[in-house]
């Protein structure tokens, strides 16, 4: 990993996140975008975000908690969690990010231990951090996937337009 002084993307494991998933996501950012990366020390599971009525974890609460943390040297943070996430308008989400924010989440819970799926979700959510909306290109990683079948059909890269926007917004 590049640990230079330039602002980096921090990869933050929450809960029981295996090294294979961390390395796959870190490798995707190093390869697809060429970003400086820092794998951060892992934190425990986000018990504070558990919703006992839904029996899931509130993605917005996790994002807010991470945003309140001072993570030195990281312009943005990609958190990998091993729990099932929700936002109020969906039954579940694979990931979540605030458009233009600095923290994104990837839930590994429904991905059946497949690193390629985690990579797709991480790149997709990072696109939202870079102000991208969902893309109409069917293979672009920014194409919206509401299930595993759709997720498996998108590529592990951005279309030309989305990549140029990500590079611009990420300062690359």
Domains (ranges, CATH) in the chain?
8-123 (3.40.390.10)
Tens of pLDDT, residues 65-97: 999 998 888 989 999 999 999 999 999 999 999
Q: pTM (2 decimals)? A: 0.93
pLDDT at 35: 84
| Residue of 32, 67, 125, 137 marked catalytic | 125
Question: How many helices (H) does the chain have, and how many strands (E)?
Answer: 5, 9
- Is 137 a residue of the active site? no
pLDDT at 33: 81
**Exposure string (b/e) for 129-143, b if CB count within 10 Å is 16 or more?**
bbebeebebeebbbb
| Average pLDDT value over all residues in the chain | 93
């Amino acid at each position: 990993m590049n640990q230079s002084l330039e602002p980096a993307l921090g990869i933050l494991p929450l809960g029981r996140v295996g090294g294979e998933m961390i390395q796959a996501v870190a490798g995707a950012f190093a390869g697809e975008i060429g970003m400086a990366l820092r794998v951060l020390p892992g934190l425990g599971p986000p018990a504070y975000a558990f919703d006992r009525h839904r029996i899931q974890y509130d993605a917005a609460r996790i994002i807010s908690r991470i945003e309140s943390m001072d993570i030195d040297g990281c312009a943005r943070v990609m958190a990998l969690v091993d729990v099932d996430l929700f936002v109020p308008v969906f039954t579940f989400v694979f990931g979540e990010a605030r458009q233009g924010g600095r923290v994104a989440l990837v839930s590994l819970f429904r991905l059946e231990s497949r690193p390629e799926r985690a990579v797709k979700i991480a790149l997709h959510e990072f696109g939202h951090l870079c102000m991208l909306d969902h893309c109409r290109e069917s293979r672009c990683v920014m194409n919206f996937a509401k299930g595993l079948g759709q997720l498996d059909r998108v590529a592990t890269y951005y279309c030309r337009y989305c990549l140029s926007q990500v590079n611009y917004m990420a300062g690359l």
